[in-house]
Amino acid sequence: MGRLGHSQPPFLSATWNHAAGTVAAITSLGNGLNVSAISTDPIPIAKANRASTDNDVVVLPRTQRDDIVFMQRKDAPMADVIGVMKGDLGLIVEEGALGVLSVHSRNFSRDSVMSQAVPAYLLDLAELRPRVWLATGVEVADWWRKRANLRVSLNAIGKRYELEVSNVGEIAVEGATVMVYNPRAANVTVTATKAWMPDATVRRVDEFSYQVIFGAIGAGHHQYTLAFE
């Protein structure tokens, strides 16, 4: 992903934990994200005793080998370092995953390993621009908060299904997408059960799967009837 920017620098606690006190301190400074190496979940939300995730801290895991790793291998040929960085990037793109390359400013001095390797990495990243979303850490965190606030449920009613999409946050979510799979080939239709529901557009992916793409989903619960025809 692109650089991790914010009005305040990402905060890393001395004990590398996300206890309530640490989260409260981060949010009081206006920080909404942290970059960490200890994450077990893809992008966990560090809760701060709130019902929604609008103001919680999003923890971005460092998913690529970074300067700390390469500083421990100072004798490695530069071609090998660049090769490893490009290899990490290629795997992330192939798997459709989150890429975070973290470089500490103290390790980016002139003639350092990272200052020599990063330009070649960025050239490869620039070529991938049509295929990947290059975003700041803030943009990723905001996207994850909105995603975490959405709830989707599907209930069978005879030969039809009731699809409910809920937003438990306060910020509207634009372009949320639900995948629909059917074991037999069929067309899918989605109809709002009430007026003034967010628009729902059905897009066929292949013979057995569809995307349901929603317009702006505001706070609350929104119901639709889904049918296979």
Residue-wise pLDDT tens digits, 7-19: 444 444 444 555 6
Task: Look up the pTM and report it.
Answer: 0.68
> Boundaries of CATH 2.60.40.1170 in the chain?
149-228
CATH top-level class of 149-228: mainly beta
Backbone angles phi, psi at 134, to 5 degrees: -90, 115
Q: In what order do the strands lie in the sheet with 45-46?
A: 33-36, 57-61, 45-46
Tens digit of each residue's pLDDT (9 = 90 or more) over 16-32? 555 666 667 766 766 67
Q: Which tens digits make up the pLDDT trace of 122-133? A: 999 999 988 899
* Residue pLDDT, tens place only, 148-191: 899 999 998 887 899 999 999 888 999 999 999 887 767 888 99
97: buried, middle or exposed (CB in 10 Å: 19+, 13-18, 0-12)? Answer: exposed
Write out the two tokens for 128: 């991938």
Contact 180, 188 (CB under 8 A): yes
Quickly tell me which residue has 């609008």 as its tokens.
54
Helices (H), 34-135: 67-71, 78-95, 113-127
pLDDT, mean of residues 32-56: 59
